[in-house]
Amino acid sequence: MRRNRILDSTQAFSAHASLFCFTLLLVLKLDHLVSYSWWVVFFPLFLFHVIVAQRTSSSRGPFIFHGLYVAPRRVPFLIVFELLLYVFLQNSFLSLKIVFLPLLAFEAAIFYDNFRMCKGLLSEHDEISSDAICLALPHFWVAISMVFFGIGTVFTLKKLCGEPNSLDWWNLFIYFGIAECFVFLVCTKWCNPVIHSSIVRSTEDISENTMCGLQGTYGCFIKFLIICFQILLCMRLEGKPAAARLIPLPVVFSPVFLVQGLGVVCAAINLWEKIVILLYTRTDTVIYVGRAARPRDTLDSLQHGSRLGLRSTGSRGEQTRINCNESSRQV
């Protein structure tokens, strides 16, 4: 059982590392610092999809990412978009309108699924109560965000194709910003009990896999970094102020590097703890977990309820020690 947890942590670490490598190679390629082909640049991204596909195929329930239900049937649209984008950058014989069609289909599929889920949750109740609204509202928010994402994608396509009377980059940023506001509302901390009731995995396992979720203080910090990246990118693309075009690409992508780097570090720490629990004896493991739990409890108290002066009844360190003892008995 512990070996399965190590395998899950290894897959999570590999997925985060693959995304980080893709972003790094992309920046180096766009900045003309390396002469690699686009296949080398996109290979870590394709490897990421392979790892995620293997992870979702081996799980018993639907794939949960930051509390959102990710339907596997939507992912092929995104993969096809990335493949077409790779072909366009490598050979440039495809039209950008064809390249962006799978992306629009991906957004439309998310809109349809969440709108259908919202309608289904409301129809299950004879009267529209507050509980029914709380269940359906996050799906409604995601559906509305996909509308703005779709509009922003269409106008971005027109901008890249050089069509006249296209919007400037700052107006496009407004559309994507509105869409992200709805997504951030859902990603703050929301779990649909209707979906989670069909999942065999425990809540603790989900919280471990979403260790760097968009919640608490660090969630606000990650959102801030994402917005900073978009502002820097719009400034460089629009050239306003004029000195913005001189901003180096590594500086523009530095918030993305920081976000993905935090994901790699969290996944590496999680993997290291699983390896320590597997290799060391029970006594040494309990001592290590006890020492490592102190900073974890401090971070948890900072993330959850620090502004309200509240503390949870069971700290993460205590839960980890309990899981460690249970795992030692099962081996």
What pLDDT was estimated at residue 298?
47
Please identify which residue in the block is written with the tokens 């839960």.
319
Instruction: Say which amino acid occupies 139.
Output: H
Is the distance from CB of 6 to CB of 271 less than 8 angstroms? yes
Could you list the beta-strand ranges (E) of 57-147. 63-65, 68-70
What pLDDT was estimated at residue 217?
65
List the structure tokens of 24.
Answer: 């790094």
CA distance 45 to 194: 32
List the structure tokens of 260.
Answer: 């993905």
What pLDDT was estimated at residue 137?
84
What pLDDT was estimated at residue 243?
83
CA distance 285 to 95: 57
Q: Which are the contacts of 17, defined by CB distance < 8 A and separation ≥ 6?
A: 264, 267
Is the distance from CB of 312 to CB of 300 less than 8 angstroms? yes
What pLDDT was estimated at residue 71?
58
CB atoms within 10 A of CB 54: 14
Closest CA to 221 of 304, 112, 303: 303
Predicted TM-score (pTM) of the model is 0.72
What pLDDT was estimated at residue 105?
93
What pLDDT was estimated at residue 200?
37
CB atoms within 10 A of CB 195: 15
Q: What is the pLDDT along the chain (331 residues), one digit of tens a residue?
A: 567 778 888 888 999 999 999 999 999 999 999 988 999 999 999 999 888 887 766 554 444 443 344 456 678 899 999 999 999 998 878 888 999 999 999 999 999 988 888 888 777 766 677 777 777 888 888 899 999 999 999 999 999 888 877 788 888 889 999 998 888 877 654 444 443 443 334 334 434 444 334 445 667 788 888 889 999 999 898 888 888 888 899 999 999 999 999 889 988 988 888 888 777 655 555 555 555 555 555 444 444 443 333 333 444 454 555 455 555 454 4
List the structure tokens of 207.
Answer: 């919280």
Give me the residue spans of the domains in the chain.
2-266, 280-331
